[in-house]
Structure 1
Amino acid sequence: MTELTLYTTSWCPFCHRLKAGLERNGVQWTEIDIEEQPEAAEFVGSVNNGNHVVPTVLYADGTTATNPSVGEVMSALGLV
């Protein structure tokens, strides 16, 4: 499993912003589009009080973050 999994949609501007920032910082991730994978949408809803909020980030330790900034993700990964 990669250290970072991003649950996204293709049309989400916040997802695009997060991915661009992570790419600029050389961070790798696995991306899962919740519109293409219904089970992924269910997972996102389960960690967001029933809401399918993207981006939702899943860290390797099992914790999640909803619509985090690039800085928050970098900090959680110990990269800043």
Structure 2
Amino acid sequence: MADVIIYTKAYCPYCVRAKSLLDQKQVAYQEVKIDEQPERRAEMIEKANGRSTVPQIFIGTTHIGGCDDMFALHAADKLDSLLTA
């Protein structure tokens, strides 16, 4: 199972939706709450090639983007293969 890191903020409906999909798939993930750890926001932006919105989701070393990007991978039956790589 690939390591999953998700950068989030409290009260972000997209973050909740993304985490919910990962929970449904029983995927463990590391959540980085950038509102509680603001020093990690710059890290997220750098790793996400300048994207500053949350969530930003990484599977292994692959940046898959945000919530909509993850759901698009799921709809295309490509998410599970990334998660199990």
How would you bin the TM-score normalised by the shorter chain? 0.7 to 0.9
Q: What are structure 2's unaligned runs of at least 5 residues?
A: none
1:74 is aligned to: 80
Shift in CA distance, 17/28, structure 1 to aligned 2, threshold 3 Å: same
Q: CA shift at 1:43, angstroms? A: 1.5
TM-score after normalising by structure 2 = 0.72
- Aligned-partner SS, 2:54: coil
Shift in CA distance, 8/73, structure 1 to aligned 2, threshold 3 Å: farther
Equivalent-residue separation in structure 1 for 2:9 and 2:30 (angstroms):
13
Moved >3 Å (runs of 4+): 72-75
Equivalent-residue separation in structure 1 for 2:17 and 2:49 (angstroms):
20
1:21 is aligned to: 21
Q: CA shift at 1:15, angstroms? A: 0.6
Tell me if the contact between 1:53 and 1:66 (Cα under 8 Å) persists in the aligned partners.
no
Q: CA shift at 1:73, angstroms? A: 4.2
Indicate the structure with greater helix content.
2
Q: What are structure 1's unaligned runs of at least 5 residues?
A: none
Identity %: 28
Q: CA shift at 1:54, angstroms? A: 0.8
Counting matched residue pairs gives 76
TM-score after normalising by structure 1 = 0.76
CA RMSD of superposed structures (Å)? 2.1
Task: Spell out, residue by residue over 1:21-80, the C-alpha distance to the aligned partner (whole angstroms, 9 max, x if none).
Answer: 11111111010101111232111222242x4211111222x221221324154342138x
